[in-house]
Structure 1
Amino acid sequence: MGASEQVKCFKSVRAQTAVLDLMNVPFPVTAAEERNYVAGSKKLGQACSTTGKPLTANSSTAEVARDMEMVRRAVGDKKLSYLGFSYGSALGQYYANMYPDWFRALVVDGVLDPTAWVGKNSKQILDQRLRSSDGAYKALIEILKRCDKAGETKCVFAAGDPVKRFAQVANGLKTKPVEFPDGAGGTIKVTYAVFVSAILGALYGTTAGEDVTALAAEVAAAQAGGTTAPLLQRVKAAKSARAYDFPYDNGLEAGSTVICTDGTHPARAESWPAAVDRRDREAPYFGRSWGWIDSQCASKTWTVRDKNAYTGPFTKRTAKPFLIVGNYWDPATNYRGAVSSDKLAPNARLLSSNNWGHTAYGAGVCATTTIDNYLLTGTAPKDGKVCSDAPQPFTEPLPATLSAGKQRPPVVSPRPVSILG
């Protein structure tokens, strides 16, 4: 990653592209897309287990924790001070259990349960263990219900029953995607997978309520024959916000290396469609979006392992208490992960927040100040503290232009690649 030597699973961009073209959808929906995605997943896993060696065999989270400890020693810090977000919460908990005496303050925010992450002796796909899709679905439905309660003066998607209307918009895209000119001679197609992925991206922000309902309203308007201008503005804004790509982009390979090397996964990639179908019934829309994140990790095709990987225990008593932070509406790291991680750790403190988006730091004064105070002083807050001051959706009337029928200005909602971002 970054400027260090990088995992590279293919000998050329051409070889890489031939495989990634099989997986070139946000997530598969049709049977044909699933077949292609499974085939691509197998080829990716095989490539990372052969050409990708030796780095893929030495890239588990335990290796990063060991590097972090070496850096602590090298710079002369007596104890480590650490703040980790999302996947960084796994790294923080690895460090706390591998080096329980060597930190002065350690915070994990947006928490992955490390036992679920590892999946020791588990044959479940990653989303079945982490339940990321459950968190995303819970957040979406809460937003739509609050939109309904707030009414049309405060929410652009409040007409009718927002929960049913959202389902109609999404399901309509399965049979008839929204298509419109891109302004450069091409066509933009908003499919079901593109829409759900954009909704998931919108759930990552602190203004998730307004952003989700604005996007849903824009697509609903386009389906009814209205303007597609706001959707085009979204696409243009997303393109302009992208960082440039190197000739060989190893993002998927690097993320896969961590997920596949750390965890135990089902044996065959062909088992993913059925497993993902189950997840999508349990957590509609997002069971598919999150369910396919680890299909390349099937143990029959991703055969490389790190002999020095750490798989637990994650129940060590640390010399100092560390802080576990979870927010109720996180669409990626389900709040239940913070609760279960707190139960694992004998000397941890749980801080809960009512903010929207992914992770809590910076989303509300209470949570941010509590974390800052702990990092600065080393004194942990009381276990079970709850922060309830974060901004909530649909509390203010819509601007006059929106209540008069015009669409909310577009908000860029990038699709989160994974919990590793």
Structure 2
Amino acid sequence: MTAVRLHVRRWGTLLAALSLVVTLGATGASAAPPSDRTSRTEAARVDRVPAPDPQWFDCSTAFGPRTQCGTVQLPLDYDQPRKATTEVALLKVPATDPSRKLGTLFLNPGGPGGSGVQIAAAAPFFLSPALLERFDVVGFDPRGTNYSSNVQCFRNLGEQANALGPLLTTPFPVGDAETGAYIASSKAFGIACSTTGTPLSGSMSTAEVARDMDVLRRTVGDQRLSYLGFSYGSYLGNVYANLFPDRVRAVVIDGVLDPVAWAGTPATAGIPQTQRLKSGEAASKALHEVLARCTAAGPEFCALAALGDPETVYADIIASLKAEPLTIVDETGEPVFVLTHATLISFLLGDLYAPEGYSYVDQDLTLVATLLAAGGTTATSAPLVEKYEALHATAQRSDAFGLGFPYDNSPEAFQSVLCTDGLNPARAERWVPAAARADAVAPGFGPLWTWASSPCASSTWTVRDEDAYAGPFTRRTAAPVLVVGNYWDPATSYDGAVAASSLLPNSRLLSSDSWGHTAYGTSACVTDAVDTYLLRARTPAPGTVCTGDVQPFTVPLGSAERRAAPERALPPVVPPLPGALPRS
């Protein structure tokens, strides 16, 4: 800063000049607008809670080299911090260069219900070395989930399986019988979580997790939060930024949920939460773009193109399966499952979660078309069997002998956050016309996403969190929020990133022409931009668009390059839909 000598006679003039010099020196230009402040109510809730001691211990045997684990007790209700508590589990990977440590980077993998402990343990495999050098990486399992105290809406797994069978085994209902069973199961789910599941089921809103994260920020000694959240983790980051805008150092949200759509408003409460997100439209858009690129590439690059026009082949497959489902058998010829068009849609959604998902779509549709042409009932179909078994692993565990332990609470973990956060129609029957409307806009994928929130019907899911956050999502944060959106994301629509960025006045949108769910790790462009922001607080230039390294049908079939492994693993993102297959 150039020294300026000011000869003044009055203290008021001197002080004003000095104030101007300090401001210009700090910003290099005119002063930035001040950030919004944490409300007095919110500050009182979290700041009176003493920073707990996780009592870190070595857990490398279970989670990998250098990992440290711990647990803390946090208030079940921040309005009554001296009363009931819930246990929250944490995992830390210490910075590899502690002498240059910038602070702690908190991670969340999505879900809701994904394990922060597990994504932190995986950090050495997907985070850049520069981040691992400069940050302690910490993940915590949101209250009610995974290694934290578990929400449990049923007395045992047998009771859970009996109540939730249709929800765990049917991607979405088709026909009166399936629809009736799905509605009954949704109601049973809501009633169970509003009775047996309380009080934890009513204390799992994203706002409560954001409050937990702010207490944990103090626990690790950081003045402001550094955070990288994927998928549903984008909503957690967004809620934190709006509850605690002056406590943001660097928040990245990747794979972004439209926050207003997730929470809902009185005007949109009659639309199911998972329909408002437009994820069905996003998945449909991605699939049909894959089919269009298959057509353009031809049979040398896309096997489906050898069977005819890919769009026509796909339409014929769906029509055939709607008319008569296909029995899939194992290598011995024994029937394994019946492939309905709903099950195929769920397989395709799982395919699209991966950057290389176009090749899985090609493989699956080519295989199904071939089976249909051959009659289908005696052909071996190992890839489809594997997908089916993976998709229904939870249901298979639940059915095993009706045992009450170990208890898999992943269905409750997902719904307790979803239903506590958002407004929904009163009765589960309202999902029938809603799914029909969604099917008209995004055939197959629309109903798949829409029905996911049917347990949230407000007349049966009656437990509430009076301190859940419903907005606004327009707070000005102390530092910019980096919003990352992927054009072809099949779960969190690119429009969600645009919406979130347009609401946050101090944010920067980074767009990516890439495939799969979320964008970090899909190109050096995205990864370097995120790393630079986290390390140096520097956002990419306005309007930056990255291009994913993997693009559909650019490598001939059978090429070794098509099968090459990426330099680093992708983050283990948990998709915001029960039963969908996460990318690996």
Moved more, 68-77 or 22-31: 22-31
1:373-388 to 2 correspondences below 5 Å: 373-388=532-547
The equivalent residue for 1:10 is 154
> Are 2:487 and 1:340 aligned?
no
- State which structure, 1 or 2, has the greater radius of gyration over its C-alpha atoms: 2
CA distance in 2, matches of 1:178, 1:139: 25
Moved more, 153-162 or 192-201: 153-162
> Are 2:177 and 1:32 aligned?
yes
CA displacement, residues 52-78 of structure 1 (integer Å, 9 cap, x when unaligned): 100011110000000000001011112
CA distance in 2, matches of 1:136, 1:260: 23
CA distance in 1, matches of 2:496, 2:387: 33
The equivalent residue for 2:518 is 359
The equivalent residue for 2:215 is 70
CA contact (8 A) 1:206 1:363 kept: yes
Moved more, 382-391 or 121-130: 382-391
**Which of 323, 340, 354 does residue 175 from structure 1 map onto?**
323
CA contact (8 A) 2:263 2:423 kept: yes
CA distance in 1, matches of 2:329, 2:290: 31
Report the Cα offset of residue 418 of structure 1. Answer: 6.7
1:12-411 to 2 correspondences below 5 Å: 12-23=156-167, 24-121=169-266, 122=268, 123-158=270-305, 159-183=307-331, 185-225=334-374, 231-236=381-386, 239=389, 247-399=406-558
Distance 1:321 1:362, change over 3 A: same
Report the Cα offset of residue 238 of structure 1. Answer: 6.7
CA distance in 1, matches of 2:542, 2:478: 16
Task: Say which SS state the counterpart of residue 490 (structure 2) adopts.
Answer: coil
CA contact (8 A) 2:349 2:580 kept: no
Structure 1 stretches lacking a partner, 5+ long? 402-413
Equivalent AA in structure 2 for residue 165 of structure 1? V
Moved more, 245-254 or 24-33: 245-254
Task: Say which SS state the counterpart of residue 253 (structure 2) adopts.
Answer: strand
CA contact (8 A) 2:251 2:482 kept: yes
CA distance in 2, matches of 1:322, 1:305: 30
CA displacement, residues 117-142 of structure 1 (integer Å, 9 cap, x when unaligned): 00021221123311000000111111
Distance 1:19 1:337, change over 3 A: same
CA distance in 1, matches of 2:357, 2:418: 27
Distance 1:418 1:317, change over 3 A: farther
Report the Cα offset of residue 32 of structure 1. Answer: 1.1
Report the Cα offset of residue 379 of structure 1. Answer: 1.5
CA distance in 2, matches of 1:237, 1:38: 26
Task: Say which SS state the counterpart of residue 483 (structure 2) adopts.
Answer: strand
CA contact (8 A) 2:488 2:494 kept: yes
CA displacement, residues 84-126 of structure 1 (integer Å, 9 cap, x when unaligned): 0000000000010111111211100000011110002122112
CA displacement, residues 192-239 of structure 1 (integer Å, 9 cap, x when unaligned): 111110000001000122111111001101111178767324424774
Equivalent AA in structure 2 for residue 333 of structure 1? T
Task: Say which SS state the counterpart of residue 281 (structure 1) adopts.
Answer: helix
CA displacement, residues 353-380 of structure 1 (integer Å, 9 cap, x when unaligned): 0110000001111111111111111212
Task: Say which SS state the counterpart of residue 374 (structure 2) adopts.
Answer: coil
CA distance in 1, matches of 2:502, 2:409: 36
CA contact (8 A) 2:351 2:581 kept: no
CA distance in 1, matches of 2:163, 2:275: 26
Distance 1:30 1:265, change over 3 A: same
Distance 1:251 1:315, change over 3 A: same
Report the Cα offset of residue 383 of structure 1. Answer: 2.7
CA distance in 2, matches of 1:218, 1:226: 12
Q: Cα RMSD between the aligned structures?
A: 2.3
Report the Cα offset of residue 332 of structure 1. Answer: 0.3
The equivalent residue for 1:417 is 578
Report the Cα offset of residue 22 of structure 1. Answer: 3.3
Structure 2 stretches lacking a partner, 5+ long? 1-144, 398-404, 561-573
Distance 1:420 1:202, change over 3 A: closer
Equivalent AA in structure 2 for residue 417 of structure 1? P
Percent identity, aligned pairs only, is 49
Query: How does the TM-score come out when normalised to structure 2?
Result: 0.67
CA distance in 2, matches of 1:20, 1:389: 39
Task: List, as ranges, runs of 4+ consecutive aligned residues in structure 1 with deviation greater than 4 Å.
Answer: 183-186, 226-230, 237-246, 418-421
Query: How does the TM-score come out when normalised to structure 1?
Result: 0.92
Q: Tell which has more relative contact order, 1 or 2 (C-alpha 8 A, sep 6+).
A: 1
Equivalent AA in structure 2 for residue 235 of structure 1? V
Number of residue equivalences: 409
CA contact (8 A) 1:86 1:420 kept: no
Task: Say which SS state the counterpart of residue 101 (structure 1) adopts.
Answer: helix
Report the Cα offset of residue 247 of structure 1. Answer: 2.9
Equivalent AA in structure 2 for residue 203 of structure 1? L
CA distance in 2, matches of 1:138, 1:206: 15
Equivalent AA in structure 1 for residue 532 of structure 2? N
